[in-house]
Amino acid sequence: MLIASAFRSFETQASLKSEYRVVYGAGTANQFSADQGYSEHQLGTAMDFTTPSVGGAFSKFPADPAYDWLQDNAHKYGFVLSYPENNSYYKFEPWHWRFVGVALATFLHGEGKYFYDLDQREIDTYLIKLFD
C-alpha cells in the first residue's frame, strides 16, 4: 500500500479545486473536493491510499485487497474512512482515510459508525484522550 496524497497547503488545495472546477464544473467538483480551508488534507489528518495495481485509478481501490485490509485494520492505527458510501458530504472515497486516534477509531469501528455521524461534543471527549 502506498500514500498517494497527504498534507496539502492552502495554495495546493486552492489550485486543485480550481482545476477540478474547470475540468468538471463547480457543481461536480463540489461533490468530491473540499474548498481550501476546509480540506482534511489541509488539516494534516487525511491520507489517500493506493497500491501499485490501482495507481492513480482510485475508482479501482474498493476492489483491491488493500481496501479490505483497511476496513478490517485501519482503526487499530487510528484511521477511519472519511467518506463512506451514501454519506452526506462527498462522493464515496474508499481511498481517503482520516487519522482520529486509536480510541475514537476503535469506537467508530465497533459501533459501525463514521466520524461525521457523531456530535462534536462526543468527538471532543475522544480528542482529549488523543493527548493523554
**In the chain, helix, strand, coil percent, each to 5?**
50, 10, 40
Q: Which three cell numbers stand for residue 48?
A: 489517500
Range of the domain at 14: 2-130
Q: Which residue has the cell 500500500?
A: 1
Alpha helices for the chain (secondary structure H): 10-24, 26-29, 40-43, 65-73, 102-111, 120-130
pLDDT (tens digit per residue) in 36-67: 988 999 999 999 999 999 888 888 999 999 99
> What pLDDT score does 107 carry?
93
- The answer, yes or no, to whether residue 130 has pLDDT greater than 90, is no
Highest mean pLDDT pick, 50-59, 82-91, 95-104: 95-104
For the chain, what is the domain count?
1
Q: What is the CATH number of the domain that holds 38?
A: 3.30.1380.10
The proportion of the chain whose per-residue pLDDT surpasses 90, expressed as a percent, equals: 68
Distance, in Å, from the CA atom of 128 to the CA atom of 64, rounded to the nearest integer, reads 35
Residues annotated catalytic, as ranges: 93
pLDDT (tens digit per residue) in 12-24: 999 999 999 999 9
